[in-house]
Amino acid sequence: MASMMGSKPNIVFILCDDMGSWAMGCAGNTDIRTPNLDRLAAEGIRFTNFFCTSPVCSPARASLFTGRIPSQHGVHDWICEGNMGENAIQYLQGQPTYTEMLADNGYVCGLSGKWHLGDSINPQKGFSHWYVHQFGGGSYYNAPMIRDGQPVQEPGYVTDLITDDAIAFLAKQSAEQPFYLSVHYTAPHTPWINNHPQHLVDSYADCEFDSCPREPKHPWQIKSEPYWDDRNTNLQGYFAAITAMDENIGRIIDQLEQTGMRENTMICFMSDNGYNCGHHGIWGKGNGTFPQNMFDTSVKVPAIFSQPGRIPQGAVNDELVSGYDFMPTILEYAGLPPHGDDSLPGASFLPYLLGESKSQHKHIVIFDEYGPVRMIRSKEWKYVHRYPYGPHELFSLQDDPEEQHNLIDQPEHQERLEEMRAGLEDWFLQYVDPALDGVRQQVYGYGQANLVGPAGKGKVAYRGLQ
């Protein structure tokens, strides 16, 4: 199939679940095998400072699709209720997404994999193809999915099944109409033991996992992350999940190349949030601790973009970029008008994708939130504020890149502390929707069960600590 030069680019967005930015060969990890992600990075640009908007899945995903921060879209924790049944909730109802804008401008939009933003059985947000997980994850075998509008149990390995469906969607596309495809893997989210191809698990049997620190357990580590008891067995599963996903990503790239669509298709690979496998003495992401953490290993995500002939090959960019920048970038990349909403905080980083050294996008700082926990981060410093009482943190990232030494009480840093605190408060004051503000919500990291704001009658139900 000949590519159509000058036409709108096709877009394949591959989004995984709970993958640390450190967990790729192209990021310098010599333990793990990710040849297809390494190949994608060699054929495109890899970002080393790409941050999620919240270090947990549903809020981060909602921000990618809407360009809004959690305190604008109202999803403050992973969604534990409203996915299926009579009480299903469309958490993004009434909030424009870039997929709707793509569909309105002639794109065929498909989704294969994890949705986890409510009402899984009904296609939403411009998607005409809809093969999704009923919930947010679970066992990799016998997974509950939605196929052709009906709930089904899929006996195969879900990473393979998501890829099979994605390839079937690609096989139906033609050069006459541009397409957008979201491929949302549940990998490498737990469970890890007895859930992945045994030959891949066994292939890591002799690995020392030097990329995963052996640190004392963090005093805030929550009890529901029991992976300390069998570190290597769990790491074998985690690494095997990533390698299995990488093999399937290779299948998608091969499909695009074999059908002649690769040159006119931008492939993006990203994770919803980061992940700690012993880093900082934590297993988990932002809610691996209570109070929630904002360590770089939780908030920094892998991000690779590739399109031959348009995006420079083998490039590495260290500028600060956030998930709230993703929507305006995708729209500009597709040649569509801006979203037109001045209340959104993001800016297109298209100049970075095109290899331009100077850009009006340039962020001096990045912001993040998880309920009452908020972060402001520059390349050199990070401040974490926990409402209402703390504890707060200040890290010098140049001198202490592993974030081991909290400088919050050091007298010589009080001026910088006050400056960053004021910057954080001013930014959130500018962008927060008071009706959807998460700073006073009871967010424990154990799931959101209702809407925030007027649509939810002003009440939010969260599962308590377990």
For residue 227 the two structure tokens come to 């992976």
As a whole number of angstroms, the distance between CA 287 and CA 55 comes to 8
Selection from 372, 271, 338 nearest residue 60 by Cα: 271
Domain ranges of the chain: 10-364+448-456
**What pLDDT score was predicted for residue 356?**
85
CA-to-CA separations, 336 to 8, 126, 385, in angstroms, rounded:
9, 15, 37
Selected from 3.40.720.10, 3.90.1170.50, 3.40.1550.10, 1.10.20.10, the CATH number assigned to the domain covering 10-364+448-456 reads 3.40.720.10
Instruction: Count CB-CB contacts under 10 A for residue 208.
Output: 9
| pTM score above 0.85 | yes
Any idea what DSSP says for residue 79? Answer: B
DSSP 144-198: EEEETTEEEEEEEEHHHHHHHHHHHHHHT--TTS-EEEEEE--TTSSP-TT-S-H
**What pLDDT score was predicted for residue 3?**
37
**What pLDDT score was predicted for residue 462?**
52
Q: What is the pLDDT along the chain (466 residues), one digit of tens a residue?
A: 333 334 899 999 999 999 999 999 999 999 999 999 999 999 999 999 999 999 999 999 999 999 999 999 999 999 999 999 999 999 999 999 999 999 999 999 999 999 999 999 999 999 999 999 999 999 999 999 999 999 999 999 999 999 999 999 999 999 999 999 999 999 999 999 999 999 999 999 999 999 999 999 999 999 877 677 799 999 999 999 999 999 999 999 999 999 999 999 999 999 999 999 999 999 999 999 999 999 999 999 999 999 999 999 999 999 999 999 999 999 999 999 999 899 999 999 999 999 887 676 778 999 999 999 999 999 999 999 999 999 999 999 999 999 999 999 999 999 999 999 999 999 999 999 999 999 989 899 999 999 998 766 544 545 543 2
As a whole number of angstroms, the distance between CA 386 and CA 407 comes to 15
As a whole number of angstroms, the distance between CA 293 and CA 222 comes to 11
Give me the long-range contacts of 29-32 (CB less than 8 A, separation at least 24). Answer: 29/211, 30/210, 30/211, 31/207, 31/208, 31/209, 31/210, 31/211, 31/212, 31/239, 32/211, 32/239, 32/242, 32/243
CA-derived radius of gyration, the chain = 21
As a whole number of angstroms, the distance between CA 323 and CA 390 comes to 26
**What pLDDT score was predicted for residue 358?**
66
Selection from 172, 170, 169, 146 nearest residue 158 by Cα: 146
**What pLDDT score was predicted for residue 458?**
44
DSSP 194-254: T-S-HHHHHTTTT---TTS---PPPTTB-TT--TTTTHHHHHHHHHHHHHHHHHHHHHHHH
